[in-house]
Amino acid sequence: MSPPTTTPDAAGSTGRLYAAPRPLAEMLIRQAHVVDPRAGLDEARDVLVRDGRIAELGAPGALPGPDGATVVEARGRHLLPAFVDPHVHLRTPGQEYKEDIATGTAAAAAGGYCAIVAMPNTSPTVDTAPVLSALVARASAEARVPTGFLAAITRGLAGEELTEMAELRDAGAIGFTDDGKPVVSAGMLRKALRYQRLAGGIVALHEEDPALSGDGVMHEGAMSARLGMAGIPSVSESTMVARDAALARYEDARVHFQHLSCAESVEALQHAKAQGVRVSGEASPHHLTLTDAEVQSLDSRFKMNPPLRSEADRRALVEALRSGVIDCVATDHAPHAVHEKEVPFEEAPMGTTGLETAFAALYTELVLPGILGLDVLVERMTAGGGLYGLFTPRIAPGEPANLTLVDLDSTWVVGEDGYASRSTNCCFNGRRLHGRVLLTLAGGAVVHQRPMLVAAPVRELAR
Amino acid sequence: MSRHLISIDDLDRAGIERILDRAESFAEVSGREIKKVPALRGRTIVNLFYEASTRTSSSFELAAKRLSADVVSIRAAASSVTKGESLKDTVQTLSAYDPAAIVIRSPHAGAAQLVARWTDAAVVNAGDGKHEHPTQALLDVFTLRRRLGSLEGLKIWIVGDVTHSRVARSDILAFHRMGAEVTVAGPPTLLPRQIEALGCTAEPTLARLQEADVVYVLRMQHERMTDSFVPSLREYAARYQVGDHRLRPGQLVMHPGPVNRGVELSAAAVDSPQALIGAQVKAGVAVRMAVLYELLVGSPSLVAAAVAAV
């Protein structure tokens, strides 16, 4: 008899997440320091996983290891609800030389994620049900971590005609976005927001006014003045956030603002929330930890859209993440091939990978210096699923096992052991970070396990 | 001096002065009937130009030849660049010929820095996008120092399209480093936000131009009109053209060339004795000889390495 495997139900999802079947975990994680702010947990616990679900939490050292279960000695390590990333680019279909579903979800697993949401700006665009259905089939065969898909708002991301949003929802779309491009026409976006009442699903927006961005390649500020490169002003983003929050208010629509990068956008989001508009926002680890000062290196790893902004913007984003004005962390994982990035900065494509470094980067730069509590970081790195109507991972009996075991004392140099992603364009490459993901359970299955680090404390109990 | 010359930031004041002193001795060579010294005999210098250039490319070529180097000059249109070969492949191919230096001009910021990663040769930035043009700034400082002895306390105004000018950026840095007070002035649409961070003040008009000891005029390109940075050449000339009506006696006028007479500079100003434009062009060869010499011969660490390799 084949072992039981994951099901959408085991992932606790609404059925819009897809993954390859994997054996359900039987595991006892002993004496880990469990942190789950939603469950009020911040203490050492034994956690028993049976049939891919959390069966029992016990006092440290109290739970016996059942027959056949893997026992992980996790004393001194931290067990967190696994993370959810509402914004990744898997480059499939069409650009599998950058990333595919297998490598992208392997990167997610290595980063401690139990679910990810992929963007539709692929080739072809995910703008019809057949394209989406083919992706769903591939994810169901290849995805290591449960993966969901957003479909395009407009055909070919051209901003001119709505996609068949209702049919796309039936085919599994979590929601809609033209990510990579803004919906330039307010009239077109308004139609999409009205149509949302029929189709359902979140409308997620990449906010940028092309007339203000021009041919900008980095943040407009002292550094762009110094380098002589065309700048993307922060108002290119914030004016569109304000415009679209007004449209969402008028249409009573549900809108999510993607990869917010500047203080003015935070103000616009805060203003909309104060008015009761159904809006939410995300910020990326790179915008929360780096600034345009990095661009002085002219290294194209630091080229992304929106661009790395000023220190004042970065601080505003951190404060918004702390206060909850920004609801969640999203990596905007954007893989590109080496030859595409190894060109002069202005010529390079925009984007950085981020799945494998998100937790460590934020832990190192925000939690260790005392700017953000670990509990707040865990909440923001797991909130994306709930925002998208999927699920929220919890460490509680009966919940599917979506767990991440991290060693907060371990330091590592990003990239020195390579990447699980097919691409290496990580803006944190070469940095020494604190906090390493040792083990990830997603949808009840073990999806990542660091061989060297976990090998020592893992023992099969011989009876 | 570092192994490459990519930015004025690679040089401190002493480093700039060392190059200028060296350039003085090469200027003397340029005055001789046989304008050649054997300093780089047997070494190869590659000029890789991805952008049209007359004075920069010819002066680099002459500089290398007067140092007795073997010179290969490659223009983008004539090379495999047009066949889609990447910058990296081109540089690695050229590096197989073991050049001592690669001089690169590119329409993209940071190109020279990338080239430096891919080759063992010394790299000289001959202009990268709108970023920097360090040898132009050095020859500008050289020209002023020759005329005035020092830049200390000098008030220098840089006038025109600063946004799209690599010359302006390198000049601001170099003039500032040499002790001058730098002001940039031009249409607000052509002054970058926060340009002050480079070490200058910004003025939207030429109302106080007479305070300047030196007026450095930038080239105004016609495409700036079509991009609506300024409404018309006519309005630009009316507000920002440097000519007798705005200049006081004794002010010096500079320009990196080529000049649009009657646009950014009046024809009379170009030809007036106040203009240093001819001296700038003349300084180009001596200063570029000095840069190549300092990078390839003058650096004590490189000399040591060369001796050790024998």
Q: Quote the ipTM score.
A: 0.91
Is A385 in the B-facing interface, judged by CB distances under 8 Å? no
Q: Could you say which of A36, A46, A292, A332 is catalytic?
A: A332
Q: Which residue of A has its CA nearest to B168?
A: A228
Asked, for residue A38, whether it belongs to a domain, the answer is no
At A67, is the pLDDT very low, low, confident or very high (cuts 50, 70, 90)? confident
Distance from C-alpha of A233 to C-alpha of A423, rounded to nearest angstrom: 29
The angle that helices B166-177 and B134-148 make with each other, rounded to 10 degrees, is 50
Distance from C-alpha of A319 to C-alpha of A462, rounded to nearest angstrom: 50
At B83, is the pLDDT very low, low, confident or very high (cuts 50, 70, 90)? low
Is B110 in the A-facing interface, judged by CB distances under 8 Å? yes
Q: CB–CB of A220 and B88 under 8 A?
A: no
pLDDT over 60 at B94, yes or no? yes
B218-274 residue pLDDT tens = 999 877 777 888 988 899 999 999 999 999 999 999 999 999 999 999 999 999 999
Interface of B with A in 211-230 (CB under 8 A): none
Confidence at residue B277, expressed as pLDDT on a 0 to 100 scale: 97
Beta bridge partners of B155: B181
A397-419 residue pLDDT tens = 999 999 999 999 999 999 999 99
Confidence at residue A239, expressed as pLDDT on a 0 to 100 scale: 98
Is A311 in the B-facing interface, judged by CB distances under 8 Å? no
CB nearest to A229's CB, from B87, B109, B111: B109
At A459, is the pLDDT very low, low, confident or very high (cuts 50, 70, 90)? very low
Distance from C-alpha of B57 to C-alpha of B116, rounded to nearest angstrom: 19
φ, ψ at A387 (rounded to 5°) = -60, -35
Q: CB–CB of B108 and A344 under 8 A?
A: yes
Q: Which residue of B has its CA nearest to A300?
A: B110
Q: CB–CB of A344 and B195 under 8 A?
A: no
CB nearest to A298's CB, from B109, B166, B196: B109
Q: CB–CB of A344 and B114 under 8 A?
A: yes
pLDDT over 70 at B310, yes or no? no
- Measure A101 CA to nearest chain B CA, in Å: 29
Confidence at residue B226, expressed as pLDDT on a 0 to 100 scale: 73
Confidence at residue A68, expressed as pLDDT on a 0 to 100 scale: 86
The residues of chain B that CATH labels 3.40.50.1370 are 8-133+284-300, 134-280
Residues of B in contact with A223 (CB under 8 A): 197
Is A343 in the B-facing interface, judged by CB distances under 8 Å? yes
CATH 3.40.50.1370 for domain B8-133+284-300, yes or no, is: yes
A346-398 residue pLDDT tens = 999 999 999 999 999 999 999 999 999 999 999 999 999 999 999 999 999 99
- Measure A221 CA to nearest chain B CA, in Å: 6
Confidence at residue B304, expressed as pLDDT on a 0 to 100 scale: 45
CB nearest to A225's CB, from B114, B129, B194: B194
Is B202 in the A-facing interface, judged by CB distances under 8 Å? no
Structure tokens at B310: 């024998």
CB nearest to B197's CB, from A226, A229, A343: A226
pLDDT over 90 at A66, yes or no? no
Distance from C-alpha of A427 to C-alpha of A409, rounded to nearest angstrom: 22
Alpha-carbon distances of B279 from A63, A111, B241, B276, rounded to whole Å: 87, 61, 21, 5
Q: Which residue of A has its CA nearest to B197?
A: A222
Residues of B in contact with A309 (CB under 8 A): none
Distance from C-alpha of B121 to C-alpha of B124, rounded to nearest angstrom: 10
Residues of A in contact with B192 (CB under 8 A): 224-225, 231
φ, ψ at A32 (rounded to 5°) = -75, 155
Rg (CA), chain B: 19
Q: CB–CB of B192 and A346 under 8 A?
A: no
Asked, for residue A10, whether it belongs to a domain, the answer is no
Q: What is the mean pLDDT of residues A47-69?
A: 93
Asked, for residue A109, whether it belongs to a domain, the answer is yes
Distance from C-alpha of A238 to C-alpha of B179, rounded to nearest angstrom: 40
Better pLDDT: B157 or A67: B157
Distance from C-alpha of B122 to C-alpha of B46, rounded to nearest angstrom: 10
Q: What is the mean pLDDT of residues A247-252?
A: 98
- Secondary structure of residue A290 in the 3-state scheme: coil
Residues of A in contact with B176 (CB under 8 A): none
Asked, for residue A30, whether it belongs to a domain, the answer is no
Interface of B with A in 77-106 (CB under 8 A): 86-88, 106
Instruction: Report the 10 Å Cβ neighbour count for B14.
Output: 9
According to DSSP, the β-strands at A78-81 and A83-88 are unpaired
Distance from C-alpha of B308 to C-alpha of B175, rounded to nearest angstrom: 38
Are A172 and A14 in contact by the 8 Å Cβ rule? The answer is no
Nearby residues of A254 by Cβ (< 8 Å), 6 or more positions away: A196, A202, A203, A248, A278
Q: CB–CB of A228 and B106 under 8 A?
A: no
Q: CB–CB of B131 and A222 under 8 A?
A: no
At B307, is the pLDDT very low, low, confident or very high (cuts 50, 70, 90)? very low
CB nearest to A344's CB, from B110, B166, B195: B110
B31-40 residue pLDDT tens = 888 888 999 9
Residues of B in contact with A228 (CB under 8 A): 109, 129-132, 164-166, 169
Better pLDDT: B30 or A312: A312
Please count the structural domains in chain A.
1
pTM (2 d.p.): 0.92
Nearby residues of A166 by Cβ (< 8 Å), 6 or more positions away: A195, A198, A199
Is B279 in the A-facing interface, judged by CB distances under 8 Å? no
Distance from C-alpha of A401 to C-alpha of A377, rounded to nearest angstrom: 20
Q: Which residue of A has its CA nearest to B166?
A: A228
- Secondary structure of residue A408 in the 3-state scheme: strand
CATH number at residue A99: 3.20.20.140
φ, ψ at B100 (rounded to 5°) = -75, -35
pLDDT over 90 at B301, yes or no? no
Q: What is the mean pLDDT of residues A232-238?
A: 98
pLDDT over 60 at A118, yes or no? yes
Is B193 in the A-facing interface, judged by CB distances under 8 Å? yes
Q: CB–CB of B86 and A224 under 8 A?
A: no
According to DSSP, the β-strands at B122-128 and B201-203 are unpaired
A297-322 residue pLDDT tens = 999 999 999 999 999 999 999 999 99
**Percent above pLDDT 90 for chain A:** 92
Confidence at residue B82, expressed as pLDDT on a 0 to 100 scale: 55
How many Å separate Cα B131 from the centre of its chain? 11
CB nearest to A228's CB, from B88, B109, B194: B109
Buried/exposed B132-169: b ≥16 CB within 10 Å, e otherwise: bbbbbbbbbbbbbbbeeeebeebebbbbbbbbbbbbbb
Confidence at residue B52, expressed as pLDDT on a 0 to 100 scale: 84
Distance from C-alpha of A176 to C-alpha of A388, rounded to nearest angstrom: 11
Superfamily of domain B134-280, CATH level 4: Aspartate/ornithine carbamoyltransferase (3.40.50.1370)
| Helix and strand totals (H; E) in chain A | 15, 19
Q: Which residue of A has its CA nearest to B171?
A: A226
Q: CB–CB of B109 and A226 under 8 A?
A: no
pLDDT over 50 at A217, yes or no? yes
Is A344 in the B-facing interface, judged by CB distances under 8 Å? yes
Are A241 and A260 in contact by the 8 Å Cβ rule? The answer is yes
Distance from C-alpha of A360 to C-alpha of A408, rounded to nearest angstrom: 9
Q: Which 8-state DSSP code applies to residue A92?
A: T
Residue A332 appears among annotated catalytic residues: yes
Mutate which: B92, B114, B189, B223, vs A, most A CBs within 10 A: B114
Confidence at residue B306, expressed as pLDDT on a 0 to 100 scale: 42
Is A298 in the B-facing interface, judged by CB distances under 8 Å? yes
How many Å separate Cα A85 from the centre of its chain? 2
Question: Among the residues of B158-208, which ranges form H helices?
Answer: 166-177
Q: HSE-up of A19 (CA within 13 Å, CB side)?
A: 35
Confidence at residue A2, expressed as pLDDT on a 0 to 100 scale: 44
Is B111 in the A-facing interface, judged by CB distances under 8 Å? yes
Mean pLDDT of the residues in chain B: 91
Asked, for residue A445, whether it belongs to a domain, the answer is no
Are A274 and A301 in contact by the 8 Å Cβ rule? The answer is no
pLDDT over 90 at B191, yes or no? yes
- Secondary structure of residue A48 in the 3-state scheme: strand
Is B255 in the A-facing interface, judged by CB distances under 8 Å? no
Q: Which residue of A has its CA nearest to B196?
A: A222
Structure tokens at B185: 């002035």
Asked, for residue A376, whether it belongs to a domain, the answer is yes
Confidence at residue A406, expressed as pLDDT on a 0 to 100 scale: 98
φ, ψ at B7 (rounded to 5°) = -140, 155
Q: CB–CB of A231 and B88 under 8 A?
A: no
Distance from C-alpha of B89 to C-alpha of B78, rounded to nearest angstrom: 16
Amino acid B11 reads L
Residue bearing tokens 């994680």: A29
Q: Which residue of A has its CA nearest to B9?
A: A226
Mutate which: B81, B90, B108, vs A, most A CBs within 10 A: B108
CA A455, A457, A460 angle in degrees (round to 5)? Answer: 80
Domain of residue A216, residue span: 81-387
Asked, for residue A259, whether it belongs to a domain, the answer is yes
Residues of A in contact with B128 (CB under 8 A): 344
Q: CB–CB of A347 and B108 under 8 A?
A: yes
Chain A and chain B share a number of CB contacts under 8 A equal to 69
Asked, for residue A446, whether it belongs to a domain, the answer is no
